[in-house]
Amino acid sequence: MKKILSICIPTFNRIRCLKNCLESIYQSSKNSNISFEVCISDNCSNENVHEIIEDYKNKIPIVYSRNKKNQGLGVNILKAVSLAGGEYVWIIGNDDLFLKNTLSEFKKLTETYSDIDFFLINSYNLSSSYVFNFPQPFSLDNLPKGMKAFSKNKVDRKCKFFDLIDQNYAFDFLLGIFLSVFKRKKWTENLNVIKQDLISDLKVYSNIYNTCPHNLIFAKAFNKSNSFYKSIPLSVNLSGEREWSPLYPFVEVVRIPELLNEYKKNGLGFFKYLKCQNFAVRRLFLNLIQIYFFNKIEGKEMINFKKHIFNKLLYPSVYYFPIYTMIRKIYKKSLNLIKKNKI
């Protein structure tokens, strides 16, 4: 039987997360008859990933491959998708969770919107410390109520791909892999946009190809595609397990604006591009302060002022956002003092 969905997981270590991820898929599969597979590419982990695979291979259909050496995240994302045979691909991190209704709801989406090539599916955010306070593997019955959604947009929308390049849908402009589900055929037909020498660079986030290869393929493959935004979340992404956090200020200063440039090359409208760039660079000064004055924040050696900073100084958000942030903090502190005095 042809698979409808391939859930692709590029993994490296964090086997306790991977176990919870697979457990959540297993729990979700009990409520759906969708034909699916889980494709796992292990980037030469030091931890025993194979043991976790053995635990779940009789519960859910798994395609597993292990790289002989660590090839970097970018290459491993492509490797995970290369294992897929489904009509649709959903790339998730090993620290993401499905919900009990994820697979059943996704099947409904494909049946209702058969003309859609690209789905943007909202996700809940949850601290990993919450998850690991429970017996393992984590049961979806223990998910808390009132989890915050990644996107605050509460209206489903059928649209074109570039309509989704908007901070109101994804503040990182689809950088997070866990939000996107797409037609595998179009992805495969556009792999030639990737420069193999750059994606193979093992220095983390050293170029746009090893930072967000999926977005570069999206920009080319789906620029004219019918798309759909699903406002009710169907996954949970965990904060607290992200080794790349010290590099995020750098990514926000350099890589996300570069990503928007790629979208523009592939058809993103000029005025929308300016709007998105204005939002993307709003924390420029705050991020630069972190990068250059906080030892735990990385990436300063990869910044070229003329190339990466100078043209961003033209955007108004660079100046008003720090002021807005400062006023907001003062306002919150004032409210807390008033409440404290009243008590």
Tens of pLDDT along 169-187?
Answer: 999 999 999 999 999 999 9
pLDDT the model gives residue 127: 95
Could you tell me if 167 and 124 are in contact, meaning their C-beta atoms sit under 8 angstroms apart? no
Encoding tokens for residue 324?
Answer: 């807005």
Q: What structural domains does the chain harbor?
A: 5-243 (3.90.550.10), 270-342 (no CATH)
Could you read off the pLDDT of 203-257 as tens digits, one per residue?
Answer: 999 999 999 999 999 999 999 999 999 999 999 999 877 677 899 999 999 999 9
**What's the pLDDT band for 335 if we cut at 50, 70, 90?**
confident
- Percentage of residues in the chain with pLDDT exceeding 70? 99
Q: What is the rounded average pLDDT for all residues in the chain?
A: 95
pTM, whole model, 2 decimals?
0.94
Rounded to whole angstroms, the Cα distance separating 339 from 343 reads 6
The amino acid sitting at 296 is K
User: What Å distances lie between residue 152 and 161, 238, 317, 335, CA to CA?
Assistant: 19, 17, 21, 25
Q: What is the CA radius of gyration of the chain?
A: 21
Check whether the bond before 233 is cis (ω within 30° of 0). Answer: no
Strands 180-183 and 88-91, sheet pairing: antiparallel
Closest CA to 22 of 179, 140, 101, 144: 140
* 3-state SS, residue 104: helix
